[in-house]
Amino acid sequence: MTDRPDLGPLIPRQRPMHPVPYDPEYKTSVPRSPKWPLLSMESTPSEETGPRFGHALIGPLDNNLILNFAKDGSPAIGERILMHGRVLDENARPVPHTLLEIWQANAGGRYRHVKDNYLAPLDPNFGGCGRTLTDENGCYQFLTIRPGAYPWPNRANDWRPMHIHISVFGHSFGQRLITQMYFEGDPLIERCPIAATIKARSQLDRLVAPLDMARARPLDHLAYKFDIVLRGRRQSMFENKLEGM
């Protein structure tokens, strides 16, 4: 199943490093957050295995959001950016060949979704989703446009900072993670109740991608770096190895 040398259980999640489930400033979390504590137990094969996706799944434009919905051949409108980074585990080892999916608003802050009726117009050439697999070193990249900030119904005047939603699989179902990437320097991050569900400041900082001029391409696009760390597996020579794992 796994091409890892270690076959130990998943390292338990450090819940204080994640957002709180219940936060009255993010109103929808109030009726949707469990009140009972989670049932904690060492991981089992059900969490340690997980779906794998092959390169055959990925089309040539899947990681290019500027062109993957270009109806009349015109690129999407917006500030062109490269989003790139590495996926590592808690043991600081790359997570190769894992699926990343992203979705985002267009340059005006509007999603191509039936439930989004914000005033900003849809861009006929922008769908807003992309996917890719990390390479053997855990690296990935997307070419896209910078999403716009947008207002949302929560408190009277809440705005989401510019952000890109990211879904990562890893190699174990227990590593499954969805998060959001923010952009360096955006003053709306400090004002966002969703960002503020993360109470450890150093953890929120990890979602803010720095401008990366070393990867920007002159006369073409800027670049932002976003590294992702997934849960690791406990490394020990003393683990009981399960057959077939």
Partner 1 sequence: MVQPLDILTETPSQTAGPYVHIGCIPSFAGLPGVYPQDLGLSPIAKEANGQIITITGAVIDGTGWALRDAMIESWQPDAAGRFAGHPEADPAVSGFCRFAADKDSGLFTLRTVKPGAVAHRDGGMQAPHISLWIVARGINIGLSTRIYFEDEDNSNDPLLARIEQRPRVETLIAKRTGEGQYRFDIRLQGEGETVFLDL
What is the footprint of partner 1 within residues 44-63 (CB under 8 A)?
44-47, 49-53, 57, 59, 62
Write out the binding residues for partner 1, residues 111-150 only, by CB under 8 A: 111-116, 127-129, 131
Among this protein's residues, is 26 annotated catalytic? no
Residues 6+ apart with CB under 8 A from 176: 50, 168, 169, 170
Among this protein's residues, is 165 annotated catalytic? yes
- Among 110, 146, 163, 171, the active-site one is 163
Stretch that binds partner 1, among 12-20, 76-84, 141-149, 212-220 (CB under 8 A): 12-20
Stretch that binds partner 1, among 75-83, 109-117, 135-143, 212-220 (CB under 8 A): 109-117
User: On the CB side of 181, how many CA atoms lie within 13 Å of its CA?
Assistant: 27
Write out the binding residues for partner 1, residues 186-215 only, by CB under 8 A: 194-195, 197-198, 200, 203-204, 206-207
H-run or E-run covering 205: helix 201-205
Strand segments, DSSP code E, in 153-235 are: 158-160, 163-168, 177-183, 208-209, 222-225, 228-230
| 23 binds partner 1, rule: CB under 8 A | yes
Q: What pairs with residue 80 in β-bridges?
A: 145
Least distance (Å) from partner 1 to the CB of residue 29?
Answer: 5
Nearest Cα to Cα of residue 224 among 197, 193, 190, 186: 186
Return the active site residues.
Answer: 111, 150, 160, 163, 165
